[in-house]
Amino acid sequence: MDWCHYRFRTHWDIGAPPDAVYAVLAVGEEYPRWWPQVRAATRTDDHGGTARIRSLIPYDLTVTAREERQDPVARVLQVELGGDLRGWARWIVTPRGSGTRAYFEQQVVVRKPLLRRLAVPGRPFFRANHALMMRRGRHGLRARLAAGGGRRNAV
């Protein structure tokens, strides 16, 4: 087992239309406005950018994200990740009842040297840290959409 390899899967149930949810998720440079653990996000060109992420563990991760798929009809977003994490992340947004289910999947290898050295003893803490980040992201997205975010960008 590669202790530096992680695969995360989760879903968020959101009481907003799928196109509105997709519209907010598709604008990565806006994530810091609604997701507290995404401390900074900058678009570097038409297909990518960088982000600085920090959750409960006091350690920043800097990642690059390069669009692999942005499909507003299927409501799928996928990026290739580099920097402190190497791998990919994907959102799939689907209707669910009167709202939306946003599926998130990520498969990465940690490249940050200190986190690699702490891979075995730190693994449960890193997984818990990620779960906390995802809960706060879900809360932030719900609040953003309730405040009208995503309407002007809706596909």
Q: Is the pLDDT reported for residue 149 higher than 80? A: no
Task: Say which residue the tokens 């693994």 belong to.
Answer: 123
Any idea where the domains of the chain sit in the sequence?
5-146
Average pLDDT over residues 13-17: 97
How much is the pLDDT for 87?
98
pLDDT in tens, 83-136: 999 999 999 999 999 999 999 999 999 999 988 999 999 999 999 999 999 999
pTM score of the predicted model: 0.92
How much is the pLDDT for 148?
86
How much is the pLDDT for 152?
43
DSSP 21-76: HHHHHT-GGGHHHH-TTEEEEEEEETTEEEEEE--SSS--EEEEEEEEEEETTTTE
Q: Is the pLDDT reported for residue 39 higher than 60? A: yes
How much is the pLDDT for 154?
38
Q: Is the pLDDT reported for residue 153 higher than 60? A: no
| Strand order from edge to edge, sheet including 5-14 | 5-14, 99-110, 85-96, 76-83, 61-71, 48-53, 38-45
Average pLDDT of every residue of the chain:
94
Report the chain's C-alpha Rg in angstroms: 15
Classify domain 5-146 at the CATH superfamily level: START domain (3.30.530.20)
CA distance 73 to 133: 28
Average pLDDT over residues 42-49: 96
Task: Calculate the CA 87 to chain-centre distance.
Answer: 13
Task: Say which residue the tokens 């992340």 belong to.
Answer: 89
